[in-house]
Amino acid sequence: MRNLIGFVIFLFLANQFIWARETMPNVIFIMADDLGWKDLGCQGSTFHKTPNIDKLASRSARFTNYYAASPLCSPTRSSILAGLYPARTGITAPVCHLPAIQLEKKLAKGTPNQKVLNADSLTRLKTEYTTLAQVFKGAGYSTAHFGKWHLGHGKGYEPKDRGFDIDIPNTPRAAGPGGGYLAPWKFVQNAGFKGAEGEHIDSWMADQAGKFILENKDKPFYLNFWLYSVHGPWNARAEDVDHFKKTINPNSTQRNPLYAAMIKGMDDAVGILLDSLEKSGAINNTIIILTSDNGGYAYPPRATEPKGYEEIPATSNLPLRSGKASNYEGGTRVPCLVCWPEKIKPSVNECIFSSVDWFPTLAAMAGLKLSNLPKLDGMNQTPAILEGKPVRETAYVHFPHGGGNQEIEKPGFWPATWVRHGDWKLIRFYGKNADNSDLFELYNLKNDQGETKNLASSNPEILRELKQKLELFLKETDAVIPKINPSWKNSPKQVPAANANWQTSKDAILETQQGRMKLTSSGGDPFVFIREIKPGKGPYMVTFRMKSNSNGNCQVFWMTNEDKTFFRDRSVVIKPDHDNEWHDYELKFPVEKALSGLRLDPSSGPGDILIENLRIRGNDGNILAEWFTPSK
């Protein structure tokens, strides 16, 4: 009888264990870095090959209206772990790798050639915020963080301080895979974490994560797999690059074989991770998320390894406008897959979803209580995931950074706050109008996914309603609001009226000296540009005299009426003499269409540069434009 009672107790406890295990699903949160909305095969890419992720997508709810909380990485990462908007936490820029600890919400000082003062982003996720990992750990989960962190380093701010049992390879000071993806890795400081020569960091990391999964297959775990891919630096295995080089369609918007090889490296790592999950036998009780921290890098890389792919945009987010760092859709709308075998039906889901929603959503899916936490900004998206029922009607992004000439290459990279409500999206660009007032752009995303038609003037009621929502959001989150720089308007180093239409990059200050252009460079990317040129027909000849004590190549860009910005494949590179002597330069623009803009990058380093007699001639030899011609 005693044995029978013992056996019954054993069966009861075993059943209780099985029941508890089934009600405590594992969670694997896969997040890529800079993965664009159309970078995956399941999202419509025909050039990139992502068989492992596409297989996952076939078993997932795939959200097409999912938004990262910021167009740059650290703010989005904080939104996931804290369930709060970056406007509230104050982490609004990717600066959490910096040594200085900045924990105060405020405006930055700015520079004389900066029109709008940006926010001075916090450099750490404050310890007062409970993280998602801490909630899972408190519920008895094993927790692990693999990959990029970028939310602060030092005592109290690293993954093991914020709820994770394991942190591999422990690189909280690294903003990205500095030095490259292939071993030996320069950005991995832990001597115990070494891959074989040429091994990809994400594949190595997937092996380590696989070991964690197998070790914890019989107990619940929460695993962050935060890839370094596909953030710069731009490098990949040469054989993979060569493979994609053979499949290029020169007319396609996605045609950079190096980036395609980087996408392959990412997909390979995800495949290794998912294989380990299959082998563990725990896949049916595991929630798998795959998404990105911000939009794809839709611009030409600065340097590539192997070389030769610097002038081809890394990717394209079309039909979405622009990319990483932009307040347009390409900056924040990203891929999102949610898989839970036997629980989630495969579907294409158009519900609006924000990265702040993961905290309450995953807690709810795992049956965890959040009663002792302060109110979160996120919403429980379980009905959207399991039944396709919309939960969120409105999403916000506050990005108080950018401006000046940074927007030339990255349209929409200007301090702004935007709201999406239903099909409508309103962007408030701070101080962008000529009279220093805020510019409002209103788009109907159902009819105009590419944000090409600003409907603000024709829809005053919708404009008013969304303005009110923005104001309330900014007030509730205590957001740092960009303002006009008081020193910008009265700066003694503004260009005189005769050449007032020239603008400069953040690394340069422009003034005139005896009728010449004087450019003082303080960094690695000084340039000047103008968008007003008399119509003419090419090819064109550009001539100028330059005296410089800087360094590096000189690059001159052209822009036509069909272009919205300057592209690196529409430029000419020359090697100037930086010997502080005057030299004459002549180059040809091999384009026949009418020009609408000119950009001059005279060097790639600090120094003083003088330019005079800058002229553009049409194919008939007549001068179409002339600037900085000193009187003799």
CATH number of domain containing 61 = 3.40.720.10
**Residue 424 within any structural domain of the chain:** no
Write down which residue in 365, 380, 395 finishes a domain: 380
The range of the structural domain enclosing residue 210 comes to 2-86+130-380
- The Cα 154–Cα 112 span in angstroms is 34
Write down which residue in 380, 413, 436 finishes a domain: 380
Q: How confident is the model at residue 596 (pLDDT cuts 50, 70, 90)?
A: confident
Mean pLDDT value across residues 32-59: 98
**Residue 437 within any structural domain of the chain:** no
**Residue 458 within any structural domain of the chain:** no
Written as six digits, the tokens of 466 are: 């969304």
**Residue 374 within any structural domain of the chain:** yes
**Residue 566 within any structural domain of the chain:** yes
A 10 A CB-CB count for 447 gives 9
Quick one: pLDDT at residue 22?
58
Mean pLDDT value across residues 454-475: 97
Mean pLDDT value across residues 321-350: 97
Identity of the residue numbered 238: A
Quick one: pLDDT at residue 13?
42
Contact 69, 84 (CB under 8 A): no
493 pLDDT higher than 80: no
pLDDT tens-digit readout, 378-415:
999 999 999 999 999 999 999 999 987 677 778 999 99
Same-domain status, 222 and 365: yes
- Local structure of residue 134 (DSSP, 8 states): H
Q: How confident is the model at residue 631 (pLDDT cuts 50, 70, 90)?
A: low
491 pLDDT higher than 80: no
Phi-psi region of 390 (alpha: psi -120 to 50; beta: other; left: phi over 0): beta
Adjacent-strand bridge partners of 429 = 416, 439
66 pLDDT higher than 90: yes
- Local structure of residue 398 (DSSP, 8 states): E
Quick one: pLDDT at residue 227?
98
Average pLDDT, the chain: 91
Same-domain status, 161 and 302: yes
Contact 594, 616 (CB under 8 A): no
Instruction: Look at the block and give the residue holding tokens 């969670």.
Output: 27
Q: Of 435 and 101, which is predicted with more confidence?
A: 101
- Identify which of 490, 491, 497, 485 has the alpha carbon closest to the alpha carbon of residue 509: 491
Quick one: pLDDT at residue 10?
47
Same-domain status, 223 and 80: yes
**Residue 409 within any structural domain of the chain:** no
- The Cα 381–Cα 51 span in angstroms is 27
Contact 419, 406 (CB under 8 A): no
Number of domains in the chain: 2
Same-domain status, 367 and 511: no
Written as six digits, the tokens of 206 are: 């997937």
**Residue 137 within any structural domain of the chain:** yes
Give the CA dihedral 303, 304, 309, 311, nearest 10 degrees: -10
The pLDDT > 70 percentage for the chain reads 94
Which DSSP string corresponds to 20-64? HHHTS-EEEEEEESS--TT-SGGGT-SSS--HHHHHHHTTEEEEE
CA 373 to chain centre: 29
pLDDT tens-digit readout, 281-299:
999 999 999 999 999 999 9
Q: Kindly tell me the burial class for residue 387, based on how many C-beta atoms sit within 10 Å of its own C-beta (0-12, 13-18, 19 or more).
A: exposed
**Residue 251 within any structural domain of the chain:** yes
6 pLDDT higher than 80: no
Half-sphere exposure of 262 (CA within 13 A, CB side): 32
Contact 469, 477 (CB under 8 A): no
- Identify which of 350, 332, 465, 308 has the alpha carbon closest to the alpha carbon of residue 398: 332
Q: How confident is the model at residue 2 (pLDDT cuts 50, 70, 90)?
A: low
Same-domain status, 225 and 374: yes
Backbone angles phi, psi at 251, to 5 degrees: -95, -5
Mean pLDDT value across residues 561-580: 85
Quick one: pLDDT at residue 145?
98
Write down which residue in 327, 350, 380 finishes a domain: 380
